[in-house]
Amino acid sequence: MRGGDYVLLDEISLADESVLERLNSLFEPERSIILTERGGESLEKMQITAQKSFPIVTTVNSGGDFGKKELSPALRNRFNKI
């Protein structure tokens, strides 16, 4: 993200709703995310800001299969469907 490299979110429809909510800030103009789950002894938060050209690629299958659900319209509208 920081270097503008691609990130692949494979089978995003299997992700927990709480994970999808956390990713929302990456689609905002600020393009950043705050990590609070860093592990180790340090509990300080870490903000990561992506380059403006940072591309996110996702894969998704339609809902109905085991564990898969439809993405919310708000999240779906943030992507270009191919």
Residue 46 lies in a domain: yes
58 with 47: CB under 8 angstroms?
no
The helix (H) or strand (E) run that includes residue 22 is helix 17-23
The residues near 38 (Cβ < 8 Å, ≥ 6 apart) are 44, 46
Residue 71 lies in a domain: no
Residue 23 lies in a domain: yes
**pLDDT value for 10:** 93
Domain that holds residue 36: 7-62
pLDDT tens digits for range 5-32: 999 999 998 888 888 888 888 888 888 9
pTM over 0.75: no
The DSSP 8-state label assigned to residue 41 in this structure reads: S
Residue 78 lies in a domain: no
- The distance of Cα 8 from the centroid of its chain, to the nearest Å, equals 9
DSSP 3-state of 73: helix
- The tally of domains found in the chain comes to 1
Distance in angstroms (rounded) separating the CA atoms of residues 20 and 75:
8
